[in-house]
Amino acid sequence: MTTPKKQKLSRRDFMRLSAAAAAGITIMPAFSCSEASIPAPMKRRFGRINFDVTTMALGGQSSLQWTPDDIEPVDIILKAFDLGINYFDTSNVYGTSQVNFGKAFRKLNLIPGQPGYNNDLRESIFLTTKTMIRWGKGGYPELSGVRNSTQGNHGEGAVADLKRSLSQMFGNDDGTYPPGAYVDMILIHNLNNYEEIDVLYKGLESPLERDNNFGALIALRDYRDGTNITGLNPGNEKLVKHLGFSGHRDPRVMIEMIQRDKWELIDGMLVSINVNDRRYLNMQYNVIPVAQARDIAVIGMKIFADGGMFDKEPGWSSQPGDVVRTVGTEDIPSKPLVEYALATPGVHTVILGIGEINDDPLKCQLIQNYYAAQIEEDTISENQRRELEKIGARAWNGETNYFQRAAIGLTPPGNPKLTKTDKVILTWDSSYAGEEPISRYEIIKDGEVAETVQHLPQTTKEPFTCELTPGREFSIVAVDAAGKRASSDILIA
């Protein structure tokens, strides 16, 4: 029997095979996951970060965290490197994920100070970790509603989590790390409420009290800039290049996090986005446009709703049995789900967890997700997005996003105020979008439309403003792209 020659695919063939795979067609040239004989990955500018990021990123959960007995997680990481993927995601609350990255980095010569250290390779990738600690240092009681959790029981603050990440990925998981080790970004993970944001900005919005506690942002800024403003960085170390945050649940809280950033600290945002997003208090018309307007790097997550788009019942994964190891299902292919997320305006890359790799490319999650992500921006129309959303409705009647707040519809403008001098000045904060993006605000004076103000993402705490000639009764009406309206209360001049 003659062994077939390895074939190298053109991008045209690559995309043709992508479409075939989505349709269930099982014809593909012979090559395996390990050969990586496919086109170079597509990349996008990563917000204001000076980096071109691959549209597919490797997630730090799935088999990297809850590893089935027959899976070698390091092989998944190595194959992602072979494909040219350059964004890697992990976290201090992802079990053995960071340790698995550390094992892979040793094989790839990415440990600073070790013989053969490959600095060029290290600079070519973007490595992100996360902390769920909101305080800069530990030893302080938790506030109600404010997460301050981690793994490893080090009992310290966010800085300790940063150092733990470096120790697990570049050291010996003993608290130490070699000189020259760093992560590209650390995210304040899983923001849920406004009280957490108050803590995070403590010491920035209020006077810094070194002897008391302060928020994680000012503490991590010291380790980004090599300063010691907080007293937590006496060695003036630079251990992280960028700061950011993540959120699964409430875009209103995430918008607040961005708006309060007067110091341009936030360079990245990790956000849930999938075909069922509009069924909930959605991200795509609320926080993602705000991040886009601030030129923040946006990373999409929960593309498959943690397996809820497939056969897994919606809910947080917690064990190897929860890991999805197939490429979609017969009814719901994975490819259009990836395309929907990457076609969302403002999204630069998506992190995808991998359950297993396979020598059969049609069964290999890594290969299939890789070429599903080879999609240009602005290539899917709104009508096509509505069609893709019908796919999400097949899964659990569309009720997959257990991590996301229920829909509340278009809301009236927030905090409407009237100031009367020789003229009338109205101010208000952004409405929150329902199923459609907000189009404009109509200013009603004495029952008639007096002015129209275009809606733009509200990127700071500065409100919208409109100046009018005197009248008696005023209101502000939000209007969305479908013509739905939501009015403020009447303001009496």
> What's the pLDDT score for residue 468?
96
For residue range 229-255, list pLDDT tens digits in order.
999 999 999 999 999 999 999 999 999
120 Cβ neighbours under 8 A, 6+ residues apart = none
The pLDDT, as a whole number, for residue 255 is: 98
| 25 pLDDT above the threshold of 90 | no
Q: Which domains, and CATH codes, for the chain?
A: 11-398 (3.20.20.100), 414-492 (2.60.40.10)
User: Can you tell me the mean pLDDT for 156-170?
Assistant: 95
| DSSP type of residue 62 | G
- How is 300-365 classified by DSSP, letter by letter? EE-TTTTTTTTTSPSS---SGGG---SSS-SSS-SHHHHHHHHTSTT--EEEE--S---SSTTT-H
What confidence score (pLDDT) does residue 313 get? 93
Question: Three-state SS for 235?
Answer: coil
Q: What is the pLDDT of residue 90?
A: 98
More confident residue, 248 or 152: 248
**Is the pLDDT assigned to residue 328 strictly greater than 60?**
yes
Q: What is the mean pLDDT of residues 420-438?
A: 96
pLDDT of residue 37: 65
Count of H-run helices and E-run strands, the chain: 12, 19
| pLDDT of 101 strictly over 70 | yes
pLDDT at residue 27 greater than cutoff 50:
no
Distance (Å) of CA 74 to CA 99, 105, 107, 108, 119: 10, 9, 9, 11, 20
Please report the pLDDT score of residue 39 as a whole number.
87
Choose among 88, 85, 82: nearest CA to 107. 82
The answer to whether residues 335 and 420 touch, using CB atoms and an 8 Å cutoff, is no
Lowest-confidence region among 115-124, 325-334, 426-435: 325-334
Any idea which of 74-78, 133-137, 202-206 has the lowest mean pLDDT? 133-137
Q: What is the pLDDT of residue 139?
A: 67
User: How confident is residue 28, by pLDDT bands cut at 50, 70 and 90?
Assistant: very low
Q: What percentage of residues in the chain have a pLDDT greater than 70?
A: 89
pLDDT (0 to 100) of residue 138:
82
pLDDT at residue 221, as a whole number = 98
Residues in the chain: 493
Q: What is the mean pLDDT of residues 408-424?
A: 96
> Distance (Å, rounded) from C-alpha 92 to C-alpha 101?
12
Mean of pLDDT values over 108-113: 98
**pLDDT of 38:** 81
Token pair, residue 54, equals 């691959």
Q: Chain-wide mean pLDDT for the chain?
A: 91
Whole-angstrom distance, CA of residue 254 vs CA of residue 247: 7
Query: What tens digit of pLDDT does each residue of 359-415 get?
Result: 999 899 999 999 999 999 989 999 999 999 999 999 999 999 999 999 999 999 999
Q: What is the mean pLDDT of residues 314-330?
A: 94
